[in-house]
Amino acid sequence: MRKILLHGSLGVAVLLSLFPFYWTVVMATNTTQDVFRNPPKLTIGPHLADNVQKVLQSVDLIAPIVNTVLVAIATTVLVLFFDSLAAFAFAKYDFPGRKVLFGLLLLMFMVPTQLALIPQFVIMAELGWVGTLKALVVPAAANAFGIFWMRQYISSAVPDEMLDAAKLDGAGFFRIYRSVILPVIRPGLAFLGIFTFIAAWNDYVWPLIVLLDPNKVTLQVALSQLNVGLKQDYSVLMAGALIGVLPLVVMFVLFARNFIGDAVKGAVK
């Protein structure tokens, strides 16, 4: 009896958690009239292809998807490389200024992003990067969270003896990074990679500001424009929302196992 109550309550929570997705699918696969009749239709219908076609007719979503994938991949690769390299230096080496530099990083980690937004936009205008994907990737490559998190990871995952052995063999910093550190920190890189990819995929404020040209936006900005343009045709709108959400949810479910554990760990330590 207690078990039934327990799983019943958890089931309700899961239902509330997932219902908006189900309902998005319901709307995206039906016509708007079907969903808005009373009582509303709550089962999946046959009109997905129609609705997707209509979305693509009203807003070009293909280019934004390509832009978003490019930005997310480029950002992820740069963050993984720069952050793991810097984190390795901070975790395993003592050099003059190390504490001050790391302290500065932690301090900026706490400063809210909107403080820097206006000057960032001015800099992009000066560089001629407004409306380009460079404006999204280059600043995002400096990720303080990533260095902080990777430093913790390297400190606990790589024993000092391993480095000492490599040093005795005469290997320098970059050689050790490549042949000792990289293979060991793969699980850490996987988490930071998925985390960075999700953040880049979902980023909205900065792309909204810096990608003025409506033809060169990312997916989130395109979706918000869809919301403005298609306010009445909900089925088509939901087909668009589905396109924006589905790839990430599928990726997440595939990798979720370790990701959630790592995402939660930082808070508990």
Partner 1 sequence: MTARARALRSAWPQYLAISPFYLLFTVFLLGPTLFSLYLAFHRWDGIGEMQYVGLDQFRFLIEDQTFWLSVRNTLIIWVLSTVPMLLLALVLAALLNSTKRLVGFYRVALFIPNITSVVAVAIVFGALFATNSGLVNITLQGIGLPGVPWLTDPWAIKIVIAMLMTWQWTGYNALIYLAGMQSIPSELYEAAKIDGAGPVRAFFSVTVPMLRPIILFTVVVSTITGMQSFTEPQVLFGNNSAVNANSGGPGQAGLTMVLYFYRTAFGQNDYGYGAAIAWAVFLIVMVFTILNWRLVQRRAD
Site for partner 1, residues 54 to 93, rule: CB under 8 A? 82-83, 85-86, 88-90, 93
62 within 8 A of 222, measured Cβ to Cβ: no
Q: Which is nearer to partner 1, 46 or 96 (CB)?
A: 96
43 belongs to the binding site for partner 1 (CB under 8 A): no
147 belongs to the binding site for partner 1 (CB under 8 A): yes
248 belongs to the binding site for partner 1 (CB under 8 A): yes
Torsion angle (degrees, nearest 10) of CA 181, 187, 189, 190: 160
Torsion angle (degrees, nearest 10) of CA 54, 56, 59, 63: 170
User: Would you state the structure tokens that stand for residue 48, as one six-digit string?
Assistant: 């997905």
Among 123, 162, 163, 166, binds partner 1 (CB under 8 A): 123
User: Would you state the structure tokens that stand for residue 31, as one six-digit string?
Assistant: 């016509």
Angstrom distance (rounded) from CA 198 to CA 124: 24
Q: Which residues from 162-221 bind partner 1, rule CB under 8 A?
A: 172-174, 177, 198, 201-202, 204-205, 209, 220
User: Would you state the structure tokens that stand for residue 239, as one six-digit string?
Assistant: 């087909």
121 belongs to the binding site for partner 1 (CB under 8 A): yes
22 belongs to the binding site for partner 1 (CB under 8 A): no
CB of 17 to partner 1, least distance (A): 5
CB of 84 to partner 1, least distance (A): 9
CB of 8 to partner 1, least distance (A): 10
CB of 162 to partner 1, least distance (A): 18
10 belongs to the binding site for partner 1 (CB under 8 A): yes
239 belongs to the binding site for partner 1 (CB under 8 A): no
Q: Which is nearer to partner 1, 95 or 160 (CB)?
A: 95
Pick the stretch among 51-59, 100-108, 154-162, 185-193 that binds partner 1 (CB under 8 A): 100-108
User: Would you state the structure tokens that stand for residue 123, as one six-digit string?
Assistant: 């800099």
129 belongs to the binding site for partner 1 (CB under 8 A): no
Count of residues of this chain found to bind partner 1 when the rule CB under 8 A is applied: 91
Angstrom distance (rounded) from CA 221 to CA 65: 11
Q: Which helix (H) or strand (E) holds 195?
A: helix 186-202
DSSP conformational letter for 177:
I
Torsion angle (degrees, nearest 10) of CA 249, 253, 257, 258: -40
Look at the chain and count its residues: 269
128 belongs to the binding site for partner 1 (CB under 8 A): no
User: Would you state the structure tokens that stand for residue 110, as one six-digit string?
Assistant: 């706490």
CA 77 to chain centre: 13
